[in-house]
Structure 1
Amino acid sequence: MPFLSYLDLRGNHLIGPIKVPNSSSSSRLEHLFLGHNHFQGQILKPISKLITLKDLDLSFLNVSNPIDLRIFTSLKSLLNLELSGNNLLAANLSSDSDIPPNLYRLMLKNCNISEFPKFLKTLQNLGRIDLSNNRIKGKVPEWLWSLPRLSIVNLSNNSFNGFEGSAEILLNSPVRLLDLALNKFTGLFPKPPHALNLLSAWNNSFTGNIPLTICNRSSLSALDLSYNNFTGSIPQCLSKFRSSLTTVNLRKNNLEGSLPDIFYDGALLRSLDVGYNRLTGKLPRSLLNCTSLKFLNVDNNRIEDTFPFWLKALPHLQVLTLRSNKFYGPISLPGQGPLAFPELRILEISDNNFTGSLPPNYFVNWKASSLQMNKDGRIYMGDYNNPEYNYEDTTDLQYKGLFMEHKKVLTFYSNIDLSGNRFEGQIPESIGLLKALIALNLSNNAFTGHIPLSLENLKALQSLDLSRNQLSGTIPNGLKTLSFLAYINVSHNQLTGEIPQGTQITGQPKSSFEGNAGLCGLPLEQSCFRTNAPPIQQPEQEEEEILNWKAVVIGCVPGLLFGLTLGHTIGLYKPEWLVKIIGPDKRRIH
């Protein structure tokens, strides 16, 4: 095929050698993609004859010997070289290899590199370099930032501990996307480049204040400085980015003061995470100007405020996390009807001072009443507008009895955590409308009455914690039909009768049912047949109340079907859990 110019064979199981014409002049091939195959033989020498190549992808080839970069010397027209996932000949890294001088894009992630490649210094046209997921230690060399066309630099997941040169070493670099995450950088953060569009430096040990010079970067769209040791206050000048800034993540630092009331009309902010700091004051009402806001996390601070009913005016808010602060008062106002956040799927407000009761129709208008994908087709929450960087939101979740950090927040499920407050009254029967609910935690409150029969409609439910309340009556028999329910805890209530005998329930530990003097049956040791008395049944009055309530809901909300089966959907979109137990020195996992 002498006229072939583009050949893409990526992601197959190809093995063996590659044959090319003896004469290099007979080939017009410019774009060759062979990545993610299983070549074992000597395939590089034949490729070196294809002197017309501009794009070459040899990533993750599983070749037996380290790649000698000098094999590409003849490819003078090569602009894009992808070698990620292969071992490189160590001698190439410490010398000026005869690598194609016009390279613009060089991908060397997962190459087991232990020293910074010195040959990069000769690549004056280099625009993008990826050295992520290697073993490089020490300081980033000063000469890197003087490369005149350098635009995208990814040094994440190595062991860098600093920068050669002064605090202004990055200032005049043309770099617009800089990823320093998952390293060992310490000390003050240097002044960022003027052209900076995205800065990711999470999971390092930077100290001092967030540099005010970052406010002069008018094109900044994403700022992730989470999991560091920054101190001081959040810069007021972040308000300058109302036309560009979409993502701010300052999670797990030592920031103090209040969250600035700086958000002007037209702000494009979509994700704001300031969790695990020492912030005080109130939630800034100017957040109402962020009409694109989807994700708001202020957990584990010292914010003292009432429940932000006013946030329901934000049309796209999907995640609201207020956990472990000093919020107080009711989360339902008399005469205001159901909670009307139009898109809310995740509500985490545990360990505050919220009080009061919830009306039966509290959850009627929730988006989580259906298991639907986002309109844009996205599976995970985050900012995907930048094709060169994948930012994903992170939230904490009390799930299956463990407190975990949950990355890759799925866009089509729901989670509710009201635990550790002072709620009272009955659990709203409308909870059964939330078909996408996978985790429900109402523990450590003062809820009374029966466990809602409508819980049996939550076919996607995986974790249910109702422990340490004042619930009475029996455990609904329908819970045993929830095939995804892996964790249930109803301990320390006033429940009676036989525990439903289903695999998902009897497989739980005894501790999940202890503290209920009237319960019997497996997994407890108390038998329900020590007397001739018949098993305790659900009161008829309760059944009538549930039927009446269902009739009201069906009349008010046409189209809601309690018997919707979600098994097939859950099978297709089973949540991907990349979690870890929170610890002071833990990493967020990709």
Structure 2
Amino acid sequence: MKNRLLFFIIMIFVTCCSVTTQQALNATFTFSGMRYLPHISSALLQLKQEFVFKKPNYTDYYYPTPYDETLSYPKMKFWTEGKDCCDLFSLRQLHRLNLAYNNFTLSNIPSSFAQLSRLTHLNLSYSFFSGQVPSEIALLSNLMSLDLSYDIHYDYDHEMSISLLYSPTITFAQNMTKLRELHLNNVNFSSLLPESMANLSSLTSLSLTDCNLYGEFLQNIFHLPKIQVIDMSFNRNLTGFLPNFHFGSKLNSLRLHSTSFYGRIPYSIGNLKFISVLDLSYCNFSRTIPSSLKNISQLSSLDLSFNNFQLPPALLIMPSLQYLMLGGNHFTGPLTIPSPVKNLSHLSWLELSFNNFDSQLPPTLFIIPSLQSLSLSSNKFIGPLTIPSSIKNLSHLSRLELSSNNFDGQLPQALFIMPSLQYLMLEDNHFNGPLTIPNVSLSSQLTYLNLDGNKLIGKIPRSIFEM
């Protein structure tokens, strides 16, 4: 009952304090610099009359330890006429506070949060705060979860983005030794990571995307004993390399997208038995992709696109993969698809664009049962496009990109009978001869077809207007 009452009071607080600017200007009472609406205050005072405030029996079973009435005696008892009962920072007993996904109209984060010394969870994310993160937050030494993540404000006139929440340092990390989750996405730090962050031994999740961090990433963070999630994406001036990973690591998600990490992926990455998401795209990794990745039985999403890898990977044998992105590297030679394709039973997204594959396209590629999107654009695939008749059984394939290659010969009619295909990109090839499209049923899903830059001849078939 006590917890339900506290929840109800907090809901009233959020209602009475989330007022528009005009409403605030029309208010007549002030308290500690905050304005509140008199009619809402009156309603809360009437609500107070519905409760009987009775001090607890300290010898009761529910109070086995000495009772502190200053902390637990009902706060409504002290609500009086002319006093702001919506003052958040008088709720000193709060352990969890979540104000995420509100609109605080670019106001500053109050330094008074430091008064809520019992807080273990503070979430102010995506609520349109601005200005500097108050250093007083460092005083919340009991915090286990802190989320100040922020939506970037876009200035469409100047086509640039501006981060409105910033902090010159992250020194508060050295005081919050109990932190398990630290999420500060899009908070502009413009600084190095403090070494104290590598000492957060309880940390399970670290997300600092697009924070304008620079310098070298702290290697010890990879080896924190409980770390499960690391996301440092979009810090383009943040450098570093991957360490040798220990067998007992609990890491299950590692995202370094659009950073300046470099070097090779160590063979020991196969020790990350729990990792399901690995995103190292748009970095400076090079050499070969280690075959030890096939030892990770839970890996479902692998993005290594736009790096400097040289040799084609033997990765398609990983049965757990759902998303495989390897575009924008320097792969050459033939594209090899393992047999039987049942080993690829979960693969739904395959991205191999912007490489230098120069063989004929293996027909077995079109019988991967769960495939939804296949992108092979901007390679050097050659010869006629051979499509097996079983392609009509690809009930999930909705996007097929084969543009900017060296395919020639006639367009296979089988391309137009796939039941779920919506986007078909075949431009900038050498397809020739007449355009022949079979009569298709009215249930065709094709909404985008690009044949630009080929050598097709003859009349446009009437069947194209029935698609």
Q: 1:6-52: CA deviations, max 9, x gaps?
A: xxxxxxxxxxxxxxxxxxxxxxx7787xxxxxxxxxxxxxxxxxxxx
CA distance in 1, matches of 2:86, 2:16: 18
Alignment CA distance shift 1:508-1:137 (3 Å): closer
CA distance in 2, matches of 1:473, 1:446: 15
Report the equivalent of 1:228.
211
Task: Specify the code of the residue in structure 2 equivalent to 1:223.
Answer: L
Report the equivalent of 2:88.
120
Q: 1:72-105: CA deviations, max 9, x gaps?
A: xxxxxxxxxx75997587468944989899699x
Report the equivalent of 2:299.
317
Identity %: 25
Report the equivalent of 2:124.
155
Aligned residue pairs: how many?
392
Deviation of 1:290 after TM superposition, in Å, equals 1.0
Q: How does 1:42-441 map to 2 (within 5 A)?
A: 53-56=5-8, 69=13, 87=19, 90=24, 94-95=33-34, 119-133=87-101, 134-157=103-126, 158-165=128-135, 169-170=137-138, 173-182=141-150, 184-192=165-173, 193-241=176-224, 243-332=225-314, 339-359=316-336, 361=338, 364-367=341-344, 369=345, 414-441=348-375
Task: Specify the code of the residue in structure 1 equivalent to 2:289.
Answer: F
Task: Specify the code of the residue in structure 1 equivalent to 2:269.
Answer: L
Q: 1:364-408: CA deviations, max 9, x gaps?
A: 1444x25xxxxxxxxxxxxxxxxxxxxxxxxxxxxxxxxxxxxxx
Q: 1:528-579: CA deviations, max 9, x gaps?
A: 69xxxxx9xxxxxxxxxxxxxxxxxxxxxxxxxxxxxxxxxxxxxxxxxxxx
CA distance in 2, matches of 1:437, 1:445: 20
CA distance in 2, matches of 1:433, 1:498: 24
CA distance in 2, matches of 1:288, 1:139: 45
Task: Specify the code of the residue in structure 1 equivalent to 2:321.
Answer: L
Deviation of 1:256 after TM superposition, in Å, equals 4.3
Alignment CA distance shift 1:93-1:474 (3 Å): farther
Contact 2:109 2:129 in 1 (8 A): no
Alignment CA distance shift 1:92-1:482 (3 Å): farther
CA distance in 2, matches of 1:254, 1:84: 42
Task: Specify the code of the residue in structure 2 equivalent to 1:316.
Answer: Q
TM-score by length of 2: 0.74
Residue 513 in structure 1 maps to residue 454 in structure 2: no
Matching residue within 414, 435, 439 for 1:498: 435
Alignment CA distance shift 1:456-1:426 (3 Å): farther
Contact 2:16 2:86 in 1 (8 A): no
CA distance in 1, matches of 2:269, 2:17: 43
Alignment CA distance shift 1:58-1:433 (3 Å): farther
Deviation of 1:144 after TM superposition, in Å, equals 1.4
Alignment CA distance shift 1:483-1:206 (3 Å): farther
Task: Specify the code of the residue in structure 1 equivalent to 2:374.
Answer: L
Bigger drift between 419-428 and 491-500 goes to 491-500
TM-score by length of 1: 0.60
CA distance in 2, matches of 1:519, 1:309: 46
Partner of 2:403: helix, strand, or coil? coil
CA distance in 2, matches of 1:460, 1:165: 52
Instruction: Say which structure is richer in helix.
Output: 2
CA distance in 1, matches of 2:9, 2:386: 58
Matching residue within 398, 401, 411 for 1:462: 398
Deviation of 1:55 after TM superposition, in Å, equals 4.2
Structure 1 unaligned spans of 5+: 1-28, 33-52, 60-66, 70-81, 105-116, 333-337, 371-412, 521-525, 530-534, 536-590
Contact 1:491 1:514 in 2 (8 A): yes
Alignment CA distance shift 1:488-1:138 (3 Å): same
CA distance in 2, matches of 1:320, 1:173: 37
Q: 1:241-295: CA deviations, max 9, x gaps?
A: 1x31110000000344442314212000000000101122111333222110111
Bigger drift between 487-496 and 343-352 goes to 487-496
Task: Specify the code of the residue in structure 2 equivalent to 1:352.
Answer: N
CA distance in 1, matches of 2:268, 2:209: 23
Contact 1:96 1:119 in 2 (8 A): no
